[in-house]
Amino acid sequence: MKKVLLLGASGLIAPHIIPGLETHYYLKLADVKPHPEGVPVLSVDVTDYSQVLEAARGVDIIMNWTVLRHDDTLSFQVNTQGAFHVMKAAAELGIKKVLHTGPSLVLGYYEHDFDIPDAPVTPSTDYYFISKYLSNEIVKSYARAYKIHTLCYLFQGLRARPENPLVGRDFPPFTIIYDDLVHAVRLALELESVPDYFQHFNLHSHLGQGKYSMDKAKRILGYVPQRPYTDLYKRTS
């Protein structure tokens, strides 16, 4: 069973995917704050390199789900400096796979377009987007220099699978359902090699609107939404 360090285990995303991953991987959960449901986590501050390095010892893969939005100082320290620490630790310890994460970096610029392929990113000057964008550049540089197979998952929202059809509502763009994210993470953790050592992937769960393509995720990862969620957003007659 692969050993995976999961940074950001107590945040807004990881608690929703840990249950779907823990039967398949030995997860070393880490965060700077307690888990919302009291699950034990290792106390690791991603802005402290020595803590990241120690946490990463003995694992096969690092997943970085840490994020801090919209704070002028902490966004850079967590998102940008933190990514540097993760990749530096991976390089130092010889860890050969990293899963990095961030927000969609095409959403703002192309929101009025359709059939949008893997377009060049347009991060903007917003603290959240730019600090994550810069982190991607750091990650890419380390990945290629140290041959660390690195995937970067980009999406904007996360939600539970609707249990019943939703009436009078549409699916928000770049939102991914928990189950699909678990599936995508498992694909990443099992992927043998990443072309050119770094690739970012646009991920979401709803293709019905004809907006953001996920051809690359399908081509390289084999990712497709696990069920046609369009069915749950259909107008009833």
CB of 42 to other proteins, least distance (A): 21
Q: Quick one: 29 or 121, whose CB is closer to other proteins?
A: 121
Q: Which is nearer to other proteins, 127 or 155 (CB)?
A: 127
Output 64 or 80, the one with its CB closest to other proteins. 80
CA dist., res. 22 & res. 44, Å (int) = 19
The span from the CA of 175 to the CA of 189, in Å, is 21
Provide the minimum distance between the beta carbon of 80 and other proteins in the complex, in angstroms, as a whole number: 5
What is the Cα gyration radius of the chain?
17
Tokens 């990945």 belong to which residue?
143
Nearer to other proteins, 132 or 211 (CB): 132
d(CA 137, CA 63): 17
CA distance 212 to 173: 8
Amino acid, res. 197: Y
Minimum distance between the CB of residue 85 and other proteins, rounded to whole angstroms? 9
The footprint of other proteins (CB under 8 A) covers 49, 72-73, 76-77, 80-81, 84, 87-88, 91, 122-125, 127, 130-131, 133-134, 137-138, 141-142, 144-146
